[in-house]
Structure formats: structure tokens, C-alpha cells
Amino acid sequence: MGQLESGILESKAEPDNELFRDGVIKRFEYTMDLCWKLIQRFLKHIAQVEDSLIRSKKDLFREGARLGLLENVEAWFGYYEARNITSHTYNEQTARAVYIQAERFLPDAKQLLAALKDATRHPS
């Protein structure tokens, strides 16, 4: 998460630098992947949610929101969609849209990390 944050800060200094922007997008991809995998592990091992209840990433995010890990589940749907777009299509317009999502994602990812830390320190 720190690498994504530093990438965003660096790219602000040179907003037209495609290399910086592309680096932010790559960091967004792996940070997003780490986030959904952390949610998945939390649901399975801490909250002990049945695997059969989680059939898709949307189910995963909904359950994470229900348990208080995510504040805006719709935003997380958008982040995941943006992350997947980078795997299939990549052009200037897509890159700009994903970069914007990466900027929006960072505070929500930090909030998720704080919620996970709190939930594992004080399990219900």
C-alpha cells in the first residue's frame, strides 16, 4: 500500500508522465489483489464464513461490508472492475480511468487495513 501511495505522490509531480502513471496502475493492480485476498482470508479464518456463501468477488465485498471491513461496497465493485480492465484492454483512455480509480482506492484500502487490524485485535 505504501508503494501505491508513493507512486501516486510521485506522479502528481509529473502528471503527464506516462511511466509514472503506468507504475501507479501496476501498483494498484497488486494492491487490489492483496486487499481482496486479505478479505477472503479474514472471512474464512476469522469470521468463519462458509465458502458456499462467497461465489464471486461481489459476494466477497458484500460480506466484507456486512462485517464492517468496507464502508462503500459499490466503490469496491468499481475498483475490482478497474483492476480487471487492465488485464484485458489497455489504451490511453483506459489508463486514465484506472489511474483515477487508483487514487480513489487508496483511502479505502487504508480504511480496510485499519478495520482488519482492529477486527483481529478485538474479535467479536
Q: What is the dihedral of CA 98, 86, 40, 49, to 10 degrees?
A: 90
One of 55, 88, 121, 122 is an active-site residue; which one? 88
- Three-state DSSP state, 85: helix
Catalytic residue flag (residue 83): yes
Catalytic residue flag (residue 122): no
Q: Measuring CA to CA, how many Å separate 104 from each of 11, 47, 72, 76?
A: 15, 27, 12, 10
One of 83, 96, 121, 122 is an active-site residue; which one? 83
- Three-state DSSP state, 116: helix
Q: Which residues does the annotation mark as catalytic?
A: 83, 88
